[in-house]
Every structure is written in structure tokens, then in C-alpha cells.
A and B are shown apart, each in its own frame.
Chain A
Amino acid sequence: MVLTQQRNIVTRTWGSSVGKKFVMAVTGVIFLLYVIAHMIGNLKIFFGRETFDAYSEHLRTLGADIFGYSGVLWIIRVVLIAAVVLHMVAAFSLWYKAKRARPVGYQHKGHQGSYAARTMRWGGVIIALFVIWHILDLTTGTVNPDPAGGAYGKLVASFDRPVVAIFYIVAMVALSFHISHGLWSGIQTLGGNSAVKQHALKSFSIGVGVVVAVGFAIIPVSVMIGLVR
């Protein structure tokens, strides 16, 4: 038979469509864990300026005696950047393969599958663009009206612009959809689904997606209605 199986685990994984999905599922789980930790951290905004700014500083001094100031933060950043690159390259490669698989489309368009499932690709692109804006706004302060305001000051200054607050909320809805399908899909990709568990797994993923969206979006909403000043 044709020699299709590769000796090396990297080419073996990357060389099949399902192998690329394994990469997407594992990197997706990394994002999801990060996103949840990030959300819990953000909610400290409701405990006031001191607590929030202290938390921001704490992230940088965490493990500083071993890894240096911001060391742990940089390790997290490098892991996330590597994960984003792998996730996106795998997604685009499968996107291209899907386009190639159907050169002539249907005249009568049917809509099978959930909205979340059908918007994974464009939704993912929107999230990636949002992440870039988000870093320029709240991390580097490049596009922030109050770049020297500290973590709390930057956040309030940013969401005082209604357009930005609404863009943020829209991006969180997109993220929620992405997680609602992605988490379930990732479990199925890693072989963890069964006909009996499927309904529960799907509901659980939607639940996680909703919790994440609400947990993040509550902050710009609170700034807009004046709860957080």
C-alpha cells in the first residue's frame, strides 16, 4: 500500500486533517483556560481602583524571585502567541481544504448545523482582530485616551467611548459563539464524545460560552451605566 503514515510525530500530526484538529483542540483548551482566568481577574474591577491596580501589579511580581519582574507574564504570553499561531495556521489550512473540496456550490443553499458552528472561521477572525485592538488599547495603551492611567484608569477611559464599549461587547458575543461550538467540537475531536453524552456536552459548552460572554461584557456595561467610574 502507499506509504501514508509518517514516522515523526510532528509530521504525523500535522499531516492529517484530524491531526490539525488535535492541534486546534489543544490550543483551544489553552485559550479557554486563559480566557477564564482573565475573566476572573477582570472582575476585580468591582472591588475598586486599588484592588484592581494591585492585581495588575501582582501579575508582574508573581514568581519574580525566580523568573524576574513580568517573567511569568511573559511565559504566559509566549505560550499564548505560539498557541494562536498554531490555531490560526491549522484553521486556515482546513479552511483552504474545505474550499477546495467543493469547487462548485449549490444553487439552492440549505442551512444545516448551528449558527455557532457555521461562523467558527469568520468568528475566529473577528476575535483575532479584537485581540490585537485589545492589546493596543489596554496593555500597551497605544490607542487609549489615558495611556498613563494605570490598569483601572485605562479601562474606564477606554469604555467611556461608547463605540469602543459596544465593539467590546460584540466581540464577546462572537467569543461566546466560538466557545459554544469550539469546546464541544474540541471534545469530539479528542475522542471524548458519545451518543449518550453528546447532548450534555453541547449544553455544557453553550453554558461556558454564555458565562464567559456575560463575565466579560458586564464590565463595559458597568462603565457605560456609571457603576464603575
Chain B
Amino acid sequence: MRSFRVLSKEEGSVCLSVSWLEVPERRKEGSTVERRIVPLVLSSFHLLTARQPQAGHFQGKMAKSGAKECWGYAAYDRSGLMKPFRFMRRPCRPEDICFQIKFCGICHTDLHQIKDDWKEIPASYPMVPGHEVVGIVCEVGGAVRNFKPGDRIGVGCISNSCGQCDHCRKSMEQYCERKMIWTYNDKDIYIDGSPTYGGYSTLMVIPERYALRIPEGLPLDAAAPLLCAGITVYSPMKHYDMERGGKSFGVIGLGGLGFMAAKFARALGMRITVVSTSPGKEQEARTSLHADNFVVSTDPRQMKAAEKTLDFIIDTVAAEHSMDQYLPLLKTNGKIILVGIPAKPLECSALSLHSARRCVGGSLIGGIRETQEMLDFCARHHIFCKIERIPISYVNEAMVRLAKSDVKYRFVIDVAASTPPEFRPIQ
């Protein structure tokens, strides 16, 4: 990595500090490996925030109030284009942990949210996305019991909840009856109502209750996607008791979620069928994911042959589709669980449910306790996500590729390597 200063003409002759990272070009079939250079950071003060930077507050130091200056990438409007952004993280309260972010996965949700795709969860800008966050603890509040500086830590989609309702008490914080607080694009009503900012940034402050321990056996970068993609499929597998060995398990869609679902199913001893629109994914599904069966959903003959063969299906597809296409694959009492959220209503005919007492369910990420259980499970079974590591400055391009499903299987931002020098921890 090299760093030097250039003069930018576009920005009106301001001085920019630019870092470059040389990354090997991803190997494409039949092509040679090239090196390509991606600008890592544009850490200019003047680009963005109203807040003027004050020398001396960087380098991870605290402002007088105890609040911490933080640097990240944010979307500013519905174009979803992301640019550097600096903001403050709250001071550690007694129950809080502050950590230096090392890696952050790029989830499909990020793509939807930066573009304000969801009526139900309107975007507020500037938005710092990222809810697959891992890092190293740098400071803990006085009441924190289970973390100390230097520990490996993770944060997923949930950064707070009421802590008192039935669901919270059962550690199903994602269904909190009052309100769960999302890690980004939300307001933390339990603290001061200020906006939440996600993991495309250098620092994070999180109440201990919502912090996860990343087991030593897991690589930090490939563990990041477990915090959303992983738990999203693990939770319904547990909740619906899919893990009884020998059951036939199907997964629709072979993106990040589908990949994780197949990995878990294998570790749980299930028979795996991958259902996909792309015949091109068959080989990988069979060889690296050990799928027992691969069904091309656009081929009526293959779909017919697979009728009534599956006990459970996890449907990861977020594009519009009809349930009636997949329900016949289920045996009697079979369940199909949606984890993607198509924007348009889904259809299913009562007869395809009745005729074999099938049901369509949904599932949203997982609770904190369950997420920790999943991480430990992953460490035991050596399960982690296959990732493509990128510098933060590549994020806009990554979003374009993600929209085309051109990633195997998850982009993970190397936040630490992308952090401008003045925001790096003091060694």
C-alpha cells in the first residue's frame, strides 16, 4: 500500500490525501492474473461533512466530551452513491464497548437501503451502511463483564432493543415488541434518538448485550458475513427443527445466503437440493457445496421430477416470484421459509397448501444468543463464508456488481486497510 498527496482539479484545487492499494485482479476463467490499482480512500475533510475536523481528534483519540471522531463511507441520496463521511460516535457508557472495525460484509440489504427501495423502511441520509461488522475491542465501559480491549468482536443487524418484552427476554430481539434498533438507518430511541451508523466505518460503539464474540477458530474477514447472511439461514433451520439429520433440504438461490444455507445443511447432515435459475451454478453447487441434487427452476421437467422430495426449503430470492412454482417440491407437512423480501406481494394458491398441509413462513435474521450459538457452531464445523475482499473505495463498483449477482459469495470491505492514517489506532 502506498499513500501520497495529489492535487485534485475537480475539487477546486484542494489538497487530497489519497491512498492506493494494489490488488490482484480476480482470476476470471481463462484470463491471466493482473494487478490493478484501486484508490483506497479519499479522506479529504472538505469533501463532506458540515462538521469541521479538528486536528488532534483523529488517531482514535477522544474529543473532550468523550465522543469519538469516526470516518466512513456514506450514501447521500437515493442514487446510493457512496462517498467518505466523518461523524461522531457516542462516548462509551458503562455498558458500552468501543471497537476498531476491521472488516464489514456487504449485504443485499445495504444495496436496497442506500437506494431507498423499501417503503416500509425509508432511508435517511447520510447513511453509513453495514451490519456484518467485525473488529477488535479498544475500550470498554465500567460495567462490561465479558469483553476486554484486544478481544475479537462482532455486531450484526441489531444494535439495541427494549430488553424487557417477552421476545427480548427470550433473546429474540429481532422481534422486539417495542422496537429493535437496526445497526444503521435507524434512530436509537433507547439512548438519545440519534441516527445509527453502520460498519462501513472505522469505529463502533455497542452495548455489550448486542456484541458477539468471534471465536478464535474463525478468520475475521470471512466471519463477518455470518453476522447477517449466516444467521439469517441458521435461525429458521433451528426454529423449524430442520436439523434432524437425514431430512431433505432445499435452498432457492445460490447467493451469499444460499451458500451459507448449503454449508449449514451439510454440517447438519441433511440432503441438499439447490434450486437455481442458472444451470451454470450446478458444478460449483455439487463440488464445493456438496449438493446432492441441483434443479434448474426454469426447466419444467426437472421441477416436475423434484416434486414432493423436500422437507424444508429456504427461499433466499428477493426478486418477485410465485410460491406456487416451489410449493409442489415440498412433501406433506413441508415448509418453505422466506428470508428474502421481494418488494411485490407473493402469490400462493390455497390448494397447493391444503393438499399436503404445506406452509409458507418467514424469518428475520436471529436473536443475539442464537447468533453467538451459530458463531460457535461455525467455529466447530469450520464454516465461514467465501468472500471477495475489497477496499472501501471499491464499494460503489461492488454495489453495481452485487446488483448483478456478480460476486462469490460476499463482498467484505477491508476497513482497517482502507482507514486513512489519521483514523488508525495509535500503535
A and B interact physically: no
Chain B residues at the A interface, C-beta cutoff of 8 Å: none
